Structure 1
Amino acid sequence: MIADPIPLPPMPGQRLARGTARLLRSMDHAVLTEFTPVRGLRVDLISLGPKGELWVVECKSGRADFRADRKWQGYLDWCDRYFWAVDGDFPVDLLPEETGLIHADAFGAAITRMAPEIRLAGARRVKVQRDFARAAALRLQALSDPQAFIAGVS
């Protein structure tokens, strides 16, 4: 077995996000973590599929984490499909049945229940796709030239 060269993220939710992002990437989705579709909302993962579809995934590490999330219903207006990503010990009966379910760990994931598709309106789709592209480009630029972002040349 080949050791994973990337160290494990320290927080349980980050580990779920990593495994879920790997699943989505295997499905030909481009994935961003910690994305803000609109002021006041920050999703754990958003993915852009090969046909332009937008999926949002919230990673929940336990009952308390889920109960503390008061904003999740606001995320539904910013994606075509909405999922929860949880580990095998999570009490899935807490999760709304009209949402998707992904079981994950730090190394991978599987869709347990496909989320229903509720297509975004055209103008909203264009905004989210544009913001997704801009966030991805800025993150890539920050990796290739971190000094520019430290100096505030963004």
Structure 2
Amino acid sequence: MSGKITQEDLDFAIVDGRQSPTAAAVQRGVCRLLIHMGFAPLTEFSLKTGRRIDVAGINAKGEIIAVEIKSSLTDFRADQKWEDYLDFCDRFFFAVPMEFPRDVLPEETGLIVADQFGAEILRDSPEDRLPAARRKAVTLLFARVAARRAHLAIDSGV
């Protein structure tokens, strides 16, 4: 991440706006759940690999959660990059709306059902602890992105 403010920084400072209304509702509910669980959520978190996690969260112990939102069966079938996120989190979840056909989701992942008001974990994610060096790199990236977005929310003229 360079010191220069990018268009991506500006786009995410206020509202992402790229997702469908269903995905936006699920995202809101997931973020509320993560906050309730003691995690600080960050939406559309871009990794060094170029992949973007729909919602990432970090807690006071440094545990990192990744959440991939799937708004429909078509969305799930068209996008099979979720395994690329496993090396960047301790726990991985799919988050879906209530009407999503859950039997198609991999059993080895966590499962969250959400709407705009909140979310519930239906299946916990197995924990696969990150190596220390990877944890440090992801944590620093998370902190820098979050701080940049917080600043842009109050001063978009940078």
Above 0.5 in TM-score? yes
Q: Which residue of 1 aligns with 2:137?
A: 127
Residue correspondence of structure 1 range 1-154 to structure 2 within 5 A: 11-148=21-158
Shift, 1:50, TM fit = 2.0
Aligned with 1:146: secondary structure?
Answer: coil
Q: 1:74 corresponds to which letter in structure 2? A: D
Instruction: Quote the RMSD (CA, aligned, Å).
Output: 1.1
Aligned with 1:141: secondary structure?
Answer: helix
Q: Deviation per CA, 1:1-60: give whole Å up to 9, x if none.
A: xxxxxxxx8621111010010000011100000001223200100000121100000111
> Which one has a bigger Cα radius of gyration?
1
Shift, 1:143, TM fit = 1.0
Aligned with 1:43: secondary structure?
Answer: strand
Give TM-score scaled by structure 2 length: 0.86
Give TM-score scaled by structure 1 length: 0.88
Aligned with 1:118: secondary structure?
Answer: coil
Larger relative contact order, structure 1 or 2 (CA cutoff 8 Å, min sep 6):
2
User: How many residues end up aligned between the 2 structures?
Assistant: 140
Q: 1:54 corresponds to which letter in structure 2? A: I
Q: Deviation per CA, 1:67-114: give whole Å up to 9, x if none.
A: 111211100110000000011111111100000000100110011000
Aligned with 1:90: secondary structure?
Answer: coil
Distance 1:65 1:103, change over 3 A: same
Q: Which residues of structure 2 form unaligned runs of 5+? A: 1-18
| Identity value in percent | 50
Q: Which residues of structure 1 form unaligned runs of 5+? A: 1-8, 149-154
Contact 2:22–2:97 (CA under 8 A) maintained in structure 1: no
Q: 2:85 corresponds to which letter in structure 1? A: Y
Q: Distance between the aligned counterparts of 2:156 and 2:98, measured in 1? A: 38
